[in-house]
């Protein structure tokens, strides 16, 4: 669905959506390393490639230019407290971001499970990928930040997300 203007306040920017996507993937990575700890690497690093310069910058420095961005930055800080996993972002040129573009263009109303299996067959780099279902608490905090521009209490959010980040569903 495309909203052509933001006069009515319902437009959610691509910066916001990509920032939320990185936070969900950060949580999935945290879950992975909790389930599969490496005793030789107590501080794992996870690299996220973003084709949106603003969301990439928000992950590195936080956001001061929008209330939603500040809310998401506060959520990111809450998720990183008492967490030994390092978040690194870098830029990928849009023309080289073909896998993410293919995934994002999968129609929700169609048979998405079948479509994702096809995508995983088409791109060998996805062979080891699993699907992650974020916890209801994480989704709730993201929705509060995006739709209500709500600032959270970092201490309580940290414990709620890190105790139950979500689960691998496939």
Identify the H or E element spanning 122: helix 112-122
In a domain, 101, yes or no: no
pLDDT of 134 over the 90 cut: yes
In a domain, 107, yes or no: no
In a domain, 58, yes or no: yes
Look up the domain containing 87 and give its range.
14-96+132-168
* Rounded-to-integer distance, Cα 121 and Cα 127, Å: 7
The count of domains in the chain is: 1
In a domain, 102, yes or no: no
pLDDT at 1: 43
Structure tokens at 142: 């993201």
In a domain, 153, yes or no: yes
pTM as predicted: 0.84
* Rounded-to-integer distance, Cα 91 and Cα 51, Å: 6
Residue with tokens 């691509």: 14
Identify the H or E element spanning 134: strand 132-134
pLDDT of 35 over the 90 cut: yes
In a domain, 122, yes or no: no
In a domain, 8, yes or no: no
In a domain, 44, yes or no: yes
């Amino acid at each position: 669905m495309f909203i052509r203007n933001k006069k009515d306040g319902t437009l959610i920017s691509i910066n916001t959506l990509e920032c939320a996507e990185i936070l969900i993937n950060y949580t999935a990575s945290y879950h992975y390393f909790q389930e599969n700890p490496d005793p030789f690497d107590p501080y794992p690093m996870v690299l996220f490639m973003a084709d949106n310069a603003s969301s990439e910058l928000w992950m590195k420095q936080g956001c001061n230019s929008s209330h939603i961005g500040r809310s998401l930055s506060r959520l990111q800080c809450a998720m990183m407290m008492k967490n030994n996993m390092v978040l690194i972002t870098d830029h990928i040129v849009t023309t080289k971001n073909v896998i993410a573009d293919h995934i994002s263009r999968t129609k929700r109303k169609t048979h998405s499970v079948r479509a994702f299996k096809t995508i995983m067959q088409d791109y060998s780099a996805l062979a080891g990928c699993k699907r992650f279902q974020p916890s209801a608490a994480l989704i709730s905090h993201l929705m509060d930040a995006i739709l209500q521009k709500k600032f959270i209490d970092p201490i309580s959010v940290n414990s709620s997300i890190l105790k139950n980040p979500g689960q691998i569903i496939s």
